[in-house]
């Protein structure tokens, strides 16, 4: 409202103000206040914004991705910036809105003077992050800041694909030497891909904060809030040692439910944690957020020489996702070439979509995704993509 009063108004601001109720988000410029009466625009236009569906703010370490601007939209928001003061210890955390409802969130907040704010709401435990030996970012960062900020980068939004990379290594550098989290949103499934390495062996623990009614069904968390229904499925971890690859998942995994303070310190809001059974110093994690569970998509875990991945069958399409284990910094003076299903690439992540089974058998993708790669070819055929440096490419 103040921007609009100072001459920096826009149709997007009009739309935003037209969709905000008096006092929403604890703002103090509602029509119930004198300042709100003075600065409230006479006309607001509740038309959809002309802004892009996705945005990134590297200075703050924020990124948002949505499928549209309707009230029932799906929106994924990722945060990985500086930790200090009001900015919580939540590097590489995210929240998810689906069909207009928040369905994967964080613990919330309370009055700053309460001990629960300092001891829980501000800390990593209250967010969707990975802990090491039960600990997140150092607690002193609340008052002394993180010496190295996290960051978000590589935002992509095209052809039904959305991607962003969150680097939380800096704020977690006392325990991690690699804390990368990729968010790959393919059609109706969001893959959260964790690339983690620690200074020494320890226990890795994933935290999830669902909102609404949550039921654990086998390896799934079935989450419902209003009309929103999302299934969270932990597909991996994959550890460095091939002998530790977990074939009989989930029998070797440990799930726990934790009771914690709820919003405004009222009641309890449980959250879930997932533990690896052994101690490791390098781990890959992949979690699928299934946005359309009613369509019953098939998600198959796959593994090959130097790569892990998933095959997604949904709405008549097949998408193969390959995660390059050799492109995670473990090689020096060597290229990270892998050959999954006859494809040759050095890309960090490759995803290929086929319109039907026939295209898949003919190795003729209808959509190609390369994250940080320089070449893609199948067998001895001519390269479909080839550059002298690694890039992100979708076609």
pLDDT band at 239 (very low <50, low <70, confident <90, very high): low
Q: What is the pLDDT of residues 252-267, one digit of tens each?
A: 668 899 999 988 888 8
pTM: 0.93
The predicted pLDDT at position 17 comes to: 79
- Residue 200: predicted pLDDT: 97
SS (H, E, C) the chain: CHHHHCCCCCHHHHHHHHCCCCCHHHCCCCCCCHHHHHHCCCCCCCCCCCCCCEEEECCCCEEEEECCCCCCCCEEEEECCCCECCECCCCCEEEEEECCEEEECCCCCCCCCCHHHHHHHCCHHHCCCEEECCECCCCCHHHHCCCCCCEEEEEEEECCEEEEEEECCCCCCCCEEEEEEEEEEECCEEEEEEEEEEEEEECEEEEECECCEEEEECCEEEEEECCEEEEEEEEEEEECCHHHCCCCCCCCCEEEEECCECHHHCCECCEEEEECCCCEEEEEEEEEEECCHHHCCEEEEEEECCEEEEEEEECCEEEEEEEEHHHCCCCCCCCCCECHHHEEECCCEEEEEECCHHHHHCCCCCEEEEEEEEEEEECCCCCCEEEEEEEEEEC
pLDDT above 60 (res 244): no
**Among 25-39, 73-87, 107-121, 322-336, where is mean pLDDT lowest?**
25-39
Whether pLDDT at 91 is above 70: yes
Give the chain's mean pLDDT: 90
pLDDT confidence bin for 46, thresholds 50/70/90: low
Q: What is the mean pLDDT of residues 162-180?
A: 97
Q: What whole-number percentage of the chain has pLDDT above 70?
A: 93
Q: What pLDDT digit, counting tens, does each position of 355-395 carry?
A: 988 888 889 999 999 999 999 999 999 999 999 999 999 99
| Residue 310 reports pLDDT greater than 60 | yes
Residue 347: per-residue pLDDT:
96
Structural domains in the chain, CATH included, are: 1-51 (no CATH), 56-296 (2.70.98.70), 300-395 (no CATH)
Residue 208 has pLDDT above 80, yes or no: yes
Q: Is 328's pLDDT higher than 50?
A: yes
pLDDT digits (tens, 9 = 90+) for 172-196: 999 999 999 999 999 999 999 999 9
Higher per-residue confidence, 249 vs 327: 327
Mean pLDDT of 52-75: 94
pLDDT score recorded for residue 345: 97
Stretch among 44-58, 158-172, 277-291 having the lowest mean pLDDT:
44-58
pLDDT band (50, 70, 90) for residue 276: confident
* 77 pLDDT higher than 80: yes
């Amino acid at each position: 409202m103040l921007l609009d009063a100072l001459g920096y108004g826009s149709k997007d601001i009009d739309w935003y103000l037209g969709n905000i109720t008096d006092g929403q988000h604890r703002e103090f410029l509602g029509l119930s206040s004198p300042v709100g009466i003075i600065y409230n625009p006479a006309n607001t236009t509740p038309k959809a914004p002309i802004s892009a569906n996705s945005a990134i703010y590297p200075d703050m370490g924020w990124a948002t991705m949505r499928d549209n601007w309707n009230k029932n939209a799906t929106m994924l928001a990722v945060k990985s910036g500086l930790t200090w003061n009001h900015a919580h210890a939540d590097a590489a955390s995210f929240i998810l809105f689906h069909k207009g409802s928040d369905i994967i969130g964080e613990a919330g907040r309370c009055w700053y003077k309460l001990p629960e704010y300092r001891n829980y709401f501000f800390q990593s435990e209250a967010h969707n992050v990975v802990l090491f030996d039960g600990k997140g970012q150092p607690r002193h960062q609340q008052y002394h800041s993180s010496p190295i900020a996290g960051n978000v980068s590589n935002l992509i939004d095209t052809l039904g694909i959305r991607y962003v990379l969150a680097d939380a290594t800096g704020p977690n550098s006392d325990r991690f030497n690699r804390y990368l989290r990729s968010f790959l949103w393919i059609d109706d499934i969001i893959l959260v891909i964790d690339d983690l390495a620690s200074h020494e062996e320890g226990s890795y623990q994933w935290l999830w904060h669902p909102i609404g009614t949550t039921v654990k069904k086998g390896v799934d968390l079935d989450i419902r809030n209003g009309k929103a229904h999302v299934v969270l499925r932990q597909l991996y971890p994959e550890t460095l040692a091939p002998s530790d690859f977990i074939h009989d998942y989930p029998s070797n995994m440990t799930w726990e439910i934790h009771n914690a303070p709820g919003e405004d310190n009222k009641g309890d809001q449980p959250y879930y944690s997932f533990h690896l059974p052994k101690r490791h110093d390098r781990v890959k994690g992949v979690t699928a957020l299934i946005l359309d569970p009613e369509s019953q998509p098939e998600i198959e875990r796959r593994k090959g020489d130097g790569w892990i991945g998933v095959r997604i069958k949904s709405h008549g399409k097949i998408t193969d996702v390959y995660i390059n284990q050799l492109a995670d910094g473990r090689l020096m003076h060597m290229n990270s070439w892998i050959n999954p299903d006859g494809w040759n690439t050095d890309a960090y992540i490759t995803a290929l979509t086929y319109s039907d089974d026939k295209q898949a058998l003919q190795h003729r993708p209808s959509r190609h995704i390369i994250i940080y790669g320089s070449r893609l070819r199948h067998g001895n055929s001519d390269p479909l993509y080839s550059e002298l440096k690694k890039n992100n490419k979708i076609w």
